[in-house]
Structure 1
Amino acid sequence: MKIICAGLQKTGTKSLAEALRILGYNVHDVFEQFYYEKELWNKVLRNTAVIADYQRILEDVDAVMDFPAVAVWEKIMEAFPEAKIILTIRSNEDDWYTSIKNHIEVINQYIPQSELLQQLLHVILGPTRQEFIRYESGFIPACIGMTRMCGTPKEPILRSRYRQHNCYVKSACEKTKLLIYNVKDGWEPLCHFLNKKIPDRPFPKRNIKGGMVHEVAQQKWEHDCGYAKAVNREALIRIGFLISVLVSILSVILYFFTI
């Protein structure tokens, strides 16, 4: 582990992830963590993870960001004390709140507002989606103070968590190993901090105005590790099964009405 990206969601994490990939790092963002580090996150949720687990499971990963990792970033720092820490921030708190509010509203376009319909949808979408929601429900509260990245944005809670998180990261890290970074500043401060040559290409801009949500839903997000295809496949299997059950039930009903 070389880099721990300790910034909260909607602080430019997807742009930073792409920038680090361009610089040659093996980056594990949300979906890579979901698929490749399940053993660790399950242990965290069961409260059985020890430092040796972090060291073993994350040993070959260069950089982590977003959830689950950002919820336990200080544990990862304890496991890898030589790692550098990047705290991504927005220009001001209002910018961050507006961005995360917009992101949540985009997610809401894909989720029913009724709790009952949400539960029904989760059953239909299958085990991959259910497992992802379990991780989201386990780690997102530690990040932004909301149960999940959907529903009604809780402005006072979100703003408070942003301030508390940033203050804590700044106070908990050695200054020589910490970069407080706004992706608007581009390559120079990032490459200087990492002792890397500045690439001859523009700094990447990803997930603008919640665009990642649409790309994942449309199977166009290149770093989802096959998540959307797996969810769609499992949903089709379940829908097909439900249809066959309904057809069978209707056939039996019609039979008894015609005899």
Structure 2
Amino acid sequence: MAFQPYTPKPITDVFTADTDIDRRKCQRTVPMKVLALGLGRTGTASLRTALKELGFTDTYHMMSASVENPPDCLMWQDAFAAKFDGQGTFGREEWDKLLGHCQAVCDWPAVAFAQELIEAYPDAKVILTTRDVDSWHASTAKTVDWRANDPELKLVAQWDWGAGLYQPMLKRFWDTFFKGDFKKYGKSVFNDYYAELRATVSADNLLEYRMGQGWGPLCEFLEVPVPQGKKFPHTNDTDGFVDRCKARNRAQMMNVAFRALVMGGGVIAAVISASVTFHRLGGRFSAFRA
């Protein structure tokens, strides 16, 4: 849903630590220096941590919208509407509002706007994290494709503030970028995307990077010192991704239950609380709904 108005985080959302910054009222405060435009599940979370270690603060990532500041999703929806639906405009001014606190950006949904970001920030260096397409597809199927189609997230999004902002944006991005069928089109989209970026960015402003190469190539490209005595970060593996998402669902369910209790909705609160307990005991959510 594009052009959805900003609404503050409910004071009853005590089980999540999200902020509620309205980016539409923000502006650029630091220069954009790095566009890390590799697809998610190519080490983007590790790269984000590495860039922060190197002083590129902040580095935007899907987690910025999913678990840090969900109202960002409103502007991402505006960007989708402008590019894919012809509704409104989304140019440098809007990117500066959404990403103005960041010196770098990586991961999805930013990759859906790779060309627009390159045009908006022509002086930024471009990094393409990559990996074998088959291993990437297998990893993504178990993580982000699962999350984009997670029935539990879709359900809690009907009531929870953060999930209600994030789930529609994630679904819009996923279906748009992968033509409505990740399993069928994922590999071809991957290959076409990387070919297009290689053809777009000049070789002297492009670093193709694979996890495992360490600090050396990255620091040389960015012209910064190699951190001494620090291993290159490794974060967001498959198991950790799924566990964090499920924990996020539980916390948002608790937000809904608490709000219902505060507002006097005892029956709703009891149902949601029961669902949380049911999951913790190992039950199947689909069975609970049936």
TM-score by length of 1: 0.75
Which residue identity does 1:244 align to in structure 2? V
What does residue range 215-230 of structure 1 map to in structure 2 within 5 Å?
215-218=244-247
Answer whether contact 1:97 1:158 (CA < 8 A) is retained.
Answer: yes
Q: Confirm whether residue 95 of structure 1 aligns to residue 127 of structure 2.
A: no
Gaps of 5+ in 2: 1-31, 83-87, 271-290
- Structure 1 residue aligned with 2:170, among 117, 133, 136? 136
- The 1:20/1:144 distance shift into structure 2, 3 A limit, reads farther
- Structure 2 residue aligned with 1:191, among 219, 242, 246? 219
Which residue identity does 1:43 align to in structure 2? D
Specify the alignment match of 2:8 in structure 1: none
Secondary structure of the structure 1 residue equivalent to 2:198: helix
Secondary structure of the structure 2 residue equivalent to 1:4: strand
How big is each residue's C-alpha offset from its partner over 1:133-175, in whole Å with a ceiling of 9 and x where there is no partner?
A: 111122223444447xxxxx51x31111110111111111111
Gaps of 5+ in 1: 148-152, 220-226, 248-259
- Partners of 2:122 and 2:54 lie apart in 1 by 22
- Name the larger-Rg structure: 1
- Structure 1 residue aligned with 2:204, among 176, 181, 199? 176
How big is each residue's C-alpha offset from its partner over 1:204-237, in whole Å with a ceiling of 9 and x where there is no partner?
A: 1111124123134436xxxxxxx985x3453223
* Greater mean deviation of Cα atoms: 81-90 or 126-135: 126-135
Specify the alignment match of 1:52 in structure 2: 93
- Partners of 1:82 and 1:246 lie apart in 2 by 52
What does residue range 111-126 of structure 1 map to in structure 2 within 5 Å?
111-112=150-151, 120-124=155-159, 126=160
- The 1:131/1:52 distance shift into structure 2, 3 A limit, reads same
Answer whether contact 1:2 1:62 (CA < 8 A) is retained.
Answer: yes
- The 1:15/1:144 distance shift into structure 2, 3 A limit, reads farther
Specify the alignment match of 1:255 in structure 2: none
Answer whether contact 1:102 1:210 (CA < 8 A) is retained.
Answer: no
Which residue identity does 1:27 align to in structure 2? T
- The 1:31/1:103 distance shift into structure 2, 3 A limit, reads closer
Q: Confirm whether residue 29 of structure 1 aligns to residue 61 of structure 2.
A: yes
Specify the alignment match of 1:86 in structure 2: 127
Specify the alignment match of 1:244 in structure 2: 267
- Structure 2 residue aligned with 1:77, among 106, 118, 126? 118
- The 1:236/1:172 distance shift into structure 2, 3 A limit, reads same
- The 1:246/1:106 distance shift into structure 2, 3 A limit, reads closer
Residue 43 of structure 1, CA deviation: 2.4
Residue 22 of structure 1, CA deviation: 1.0
- Partners of 1:192 and 1:145 lie apart in 2 by 37
Specify the alignment match of 1:253 in structure 2: none
- Structure 2 residue aligned with 1:235, among 256, 273, 279? 256
- Partners of 1:111 and 1:142 lie apart in 2 by 17
Q: Confirm whether residue 6 of structure 1 aligns to residue 37 of structure 2.
A: yes
TM-score by length of 2: 0.68
- Partners of 2:250 and 2:103 lie apart in 1 by 25
- The 1:237/1:83 distance shift into structure 2, 3 A limit, reads same
Secondary structure of the structure 1 residue equivalent to 2:123: coil
**Aligned-pair identity (%):** 25
Answer whether contact 1:10 1:99 (CA < 8 A) is retained.
Answer: yes
Equivalences, count = 226
How big is each residue's C-alpha offset from its partner over 1:73-131, in whole Å with a ceiling of 9 and x where there is no partner?
A: 221111110001111100x22221121123258649x944xxxx77544324x232021
